[in-house]
Structure 1
Amino acid sequence: MASIPQIKTYHFLPFKYGSELLLDIGRIETLKNYVLDGTLHQLSFYEIIFITEGSGTLALGENKVSIQPKTIIFTSPGQVRRWEIEQQVKGYTLFFEKDFLHLFFSDELFLYRFQYFHQYSHPAEMQIDEQSFRKCLQLVQEIELEFGQIRNDSNHMIRSILYQLLIVLNRYYAGTYNIQPDTYVHADFYRFRSLLEKRFLQDQTVESYTRALNISPGFLNKICRQFSGLSAQQMIHHKLVSEIKKQLHQNKSAKEICYELGFSDPSNFNRFFKKITHITPQQYRKSIK
């Protein structure tokens, strides 16, 4: 029986430039050992990739992203991925820890306000027109320029440019997929998204989240459908399936995963996975070997 590959994790290096700086930028073609890693891996931080040249695919979770010019790819912490390069890829990668922004804005929910991170129902990438892509690259290059001459106040300058870039990207993403672009739609929706990332392993019912948020199940479902297109329970299930797939990439049996995630028995586990993905855990595992 073929062995199932272990997942490598890349962690952020905050003191690369001397003093702590929780954001970095690089040209894709100069960071091959990290960015274009052809093995199964995940990041412990956020990343936005801007493709200017090249072709191939990026397997991101259960989805495959087509690599082509003017493509922008968003990776959230913990997503499992693998690059399959056909023609040399060039462009920029921008990666950062959540604290780089949310401590400055005193808002733990800050990164949950952007539609492209922690996304459940829409792709983790977008293709945009030449003019829009150039606008994004201009901001990216302003950040790159600041890194070329780090000063005492550089973190503030970089943060301000990044903030503008995130807003611009959110508008383009919302326009691409015809979803709500406003980053201040309803605080309870962002609170739910944040709680879901932290508690989905132990809390898998809508009621457990509505108690924590002190809102009614009906209201939570209303805002989830309005801003994500999914019900609250569907969002919980999608997050759970994402974790199951992640663990199936590792040397864990379906039975082991079943009990770790709180299912009563393997048959219920198999039924749940097949209902959401239309294949069994065993079939999924076979497809990734």
Structure 2
Amino acid sequence: MVKASPIKTYHFMPYKYGTELLLDLGRIETLKNYVLDRTLHQVSFYEIVFIEEGSGTFSLDGKVMSISPGTIIFISPGQVRRWEIKEKIRGYTLFFEKDFLHLFFSDELFLYRFQYFHQYSHSTDIKIDERSFGKCLELLQEIEREFGQIQNDSNHLIRSVLYQLLIVLNRYYAGIYNVQRDTYIHADFYRFRSLLEKKFLENQTVESYTKMLNVSPGFLNKVCRQFSGLTAQQMIHHKLISEIKKELHQNKSAKEICYDFGFSDPSNFNRFFKKFTRTTPQQYRKNI
């Protein structure tokens, strides 16, 4: 079997404008080195893509979404992606490092408060009407104008506009997928999401997270259902499947991934993967 090539990772360039600025904005069709072909790749930062024109599909961690005018795609660090473009894409891409926001707000859980980032159970794209999309474009163009005249306090102005945009987008997303839009429900839910990102390999039971959070399993399940519609265990399973798919894109065998993720043997690993995807890891990789 021919093994897949390692996926290229793109990193943020903080000094593009001279002084450190952990956010950037550009036109998809003209931004230098922006990947728009079928190459599998990933980024180490957060990105939101706004499609004004064009069609095709965009694959994110194996989930394929259709592209059309009014589509907005939310991408978290490390997600594997690929474009399949039919008609030329035009629009904006907004990308930033987590420190651009969470250091300012003194809240390391800040980006976990939005439903569309680190999302495993719902799609990470939305299609909105022309008026709502226009409101987003107005905010993007305000940021764009500030990039045209960078000043010492530009990062503060840009941060305030980004914060407004993230809240507006969270409302749109919550309305479309019928999920909780309140960004300030019980903090233990956000801590659980953050821990799950960091600890999923060594901790795959609800009990392990309730001990770290010092809460009961019943309480954690209650807040998880309130905000995500899933139990804590379902969230853990969705995270595992998402990460396994990502590994299957890389230069690793299914057997290696099986033991890396703590499964006792390949047959258990295959059953777990097939239960959630209706295909085996080998078939999934072949389809890639």
Pick the TM interval, shorter chain: over 0.9
Q: Deviations over 1:112-164 (max 9, x none)?
A: 00011111221100011111100000000000110011000000000000000
CA contact (8 A) 2:47 2:96 kept: yes
Residue correspondences, number: 288
Where does residue 279 of structure 1 map in the other structure? 279
Name the aligned partner's letter for residue 273 of structure 1: F
CA separation in 1, counterparts of 2:263 and 2:2?
A: 27
Where does residue 160 of structure 2 map in the other structure? 160
Where does residue 267 of structure 2 map in the other structure? 267
Where does residue 225 of structure 1 map in the other structure? 225
How far is the alpha carbon of 1:35 from its aligned partner? 4.0
Structure 1 gap segments, 5+ residues each: none
- CA root-mean-square deviation: 1.0
The reply to whether residue 89 of structure 1 matches residue 89 of structure 2 is yes
Normalised TM-score (structure 1) = 0.97
Where does residue 173 of structure 2 map in the other structure? 173
Q: Deviations over 1:44-86 (max 9, x none)?
A: 0000010000011111112111110011100000110001111
Name the aligned partner's letter for residue 280 of structure 1: T
- Share of identical aligned residues, percent? 79
Q: Deviations over 1:204-232 (max 9, x none)?
A: 11111000000000111111111111111
CA separation in 2, counterparts of 1:194 and 1:69?
A: 33
CA contact (8 A) 2:44 2:77 kept: yes
* Residues 158 and 109 (structure 1), Cα distance of their counterparts in 2 relative to 1, 3 Å cut: same
CA separation in 1, counterparts of 2:104 and 2:27?
A: 27
CA separation in 1, counterparts of 2:199 and 2:150?
A: 38
How far is the alpha carbon of 1:32 from its aligned partner? 6.2
CA separation in 1, counterparts of 2:231 and 2:161?
A: 34
CA contact (8 A) 1:102 1:111 kept: yes
Name the aligned partner's letter for residue 214 of structure 2: N
Q: How does 1:6-155 map to 2 (within 5 A)?
A: 6-31=6-31, 33-155=33-155
CA contact (8 A) 2:120 2:242 kept: no
CA contact (8 A) 2:101 2:159 kept: yes
Structure 2 gap segments, 5+ residues each: none
CA contact (8 A) 1:28 1:35 kept: no
Matched residue SS, 1:141: helix
Matched residue SS, 1:210: helix
